[in-house]
Amino acid sequence: MSRVARFAARDPGVAARITGFLAHLRAHGFGLGVAEAETALRALEHVCAADPEMTRRALKAVCAGSADEVTRFDEFYDAFWLNDGRVRLRVTADATSARSDLVRAPGVDEDRATGTATGRIESPDDGGGGETDAEGSGRLIASGRRNLMTTDLREVVSPADVAEAEAVAERLGRALRDHRSRRRKAARRGRAVDLRRTIRKSLGTGGEPLRLERRTRPDRPVRVTALCDVSGSMAVYARPFLAFLSGLMRADPDTDAYLFHTRLVRIADALRETDALRALNRLSLLADGFGGGSCIGASLDHFSRSYARRLVNGRTVVLILSDGYDSADPEEVGAALARIRRRGCRIIWLNPLKGWKGYEPVARGMAAALPHLDLFAPATTLADLAALEPELVRL
């Protein structure tokens, strides 16, 4: 089906191609630098570089740095080295048969496709020869996904909101995290002198307490894990909530954040971006399905079985921002929360509807969730969130 990409005769060589490939990966969010390019080249010396499968494994070991990147790597490798996207594209462009729709790469826009109808064999962008960049970018498959996104969160959240939300989030984050232990523990620097240990140590110096041992109350930082519902019914509240999440994230880099609608997406890495606007841009890429239906139960269930198992423990506060309107079985919500709860964490549910006069948690999903919550509070605006501070300190 696919064959190894043919490079033009003017191609400057392996080094430039590897650099091009790494640039291609970098464009898709891999954190790679010059050092990796050098490692990749050295790695290729140790394998049979003519064998595409072996090269794939070697480059994968060098370039991928997480389980997620390992799964995505193959797609990018095919697109760049095996002319994968290119071959399919040429079929689309040349043949006007009904088959062309079936073989077209997903999400590739039309004008790109017709741009390749010249019949030339283009090499993927190798970063070295500037002449090929007009059509042959080799990035078509992955970047095509961008066109599927319907909602741009940049319209939902403005930088000013982010700044305000950050201030609130930071205060809340501090309220949640500042849990000092009640006990004191030996420490190099501390306010209290540890008499017992000082006397014990003084034995070594002939009974003279030459070194004072100290004690302090160790920090027991609490990690926040936030799950934000962005389904249709929550769309109006998405604006303050997302700003709030990014603020929370930037106040404490250990915070973990997820979006859910019909499925669960981890957005922690996107929000960790130092630049607020870029963070929101990356978020827009992830929020495919934004404003659609909601499967709270299924999303929470997925969370409890995957991420929660690794990342939620007794020092975690799970923060759920949702109105509790679920299209699926409400029992699932209760069961999932019970499972998360068993990990020893505390669960806070912030419901925008609770602020309404005469609100009763009658949404069946919400009713099923209530017995498992440590705190059930209203949150419609940033001001509401700020007002939560004293409650959170008591948790």
Partner 1 sequence: MNDWRALQDGLAGQGYIAAPDLAMALHLSISLGRPLLLEGAAGVGKTEVARALAAAEGTRLIRLQCYEGLDAAHAIYEWNYQKQLLAIRAAAEDGETGTAVERRIFSEEFLLERPLLQAIRQPEAPVLLIDEIDRADEEFEAYLLEVLSDFQITVPELGTIAARSIPRVVLTSNGTRDLSDALRRRCMYAHVAYPDRETELTILHARAPEVEARLAAQIVGFVQAIRRERLEKVPGVAEMLDFAAAVGGLGVADLSTDPAVLHATMATLLKTEGDRAAIPPEVAARLVGRAA
- Contact set with partner 1 (CB under 8 A): 31, 33, 35-36, 39, 42-43, 46-48, 53-54, 57-58, 60-62, 64-67, 70, 204, 254, 305, 309-311
Nearest residue (CB) to partner 1, 33 versus 130: 33
Nearest residue (CB) to partner 1, 70 versus 277: 70
Nearest residue (CB) to partner 1, 66 versus 150: 66
Q: How far is the CB of 64 from partner 1 (least distance, A)?
A: 5
Q: How far is the CB of 2 from partner 1 (least distance, A)?
A: 19
Q: How far is the CB of 70 from partner 1 (least distance, A)?
A: 5
Q: How far is the CB of 260 from partner 1 (least distance, A)?
A: 19
Q: How far is the CB of 373 from partner 1 (least distance, A)?
A: 21
Q: How far is the CB of 263 from partner 1 (least distance, A)?
A: 17
Nearest residue (CB) to partner 1, 13 versus 65: 65
3-class DSSP string for the chain: CCCCCCCCCCCCCHHHHHHHHHHHHHCCCCCCCHHHHHHHHHHHHCCCCCCHHHHHHHHHHHHCCCHHHHHHHHHHHHHHHCCHHHHHHHHHHHCCCCCHHHHCCCCCCHHHHHHCCCCCCCCCCCCCCHHHHHCCCCCHHHHHHHHHCCCCHHHHCCHHHHHHHHHHHHHHHHHHHCCECCCCEEECCCCEECHHHHHHHHHHHCCCCCCCCEEECCECCCEEEEEEECCHHHHHHHHHHHHHHHHHHHHCCCCEEEEECCCEEECHHHHCCCCHHHHHHHHHHHCCCCCCCCCHHHHHHHHHHCHHHHHCCCCEEEEEECCCCCCCCHHHHHHHHHHHHCCCCEEEEEEHHHHCCCCCCCCHHHHHHHHHCCEEEECCCHHHHHHCHHHHHHC
Nearest residue (CB) to partner 1, 76 versus 349: 76
Nearest residue (CB) to partner 1, 44 versus 149: 44
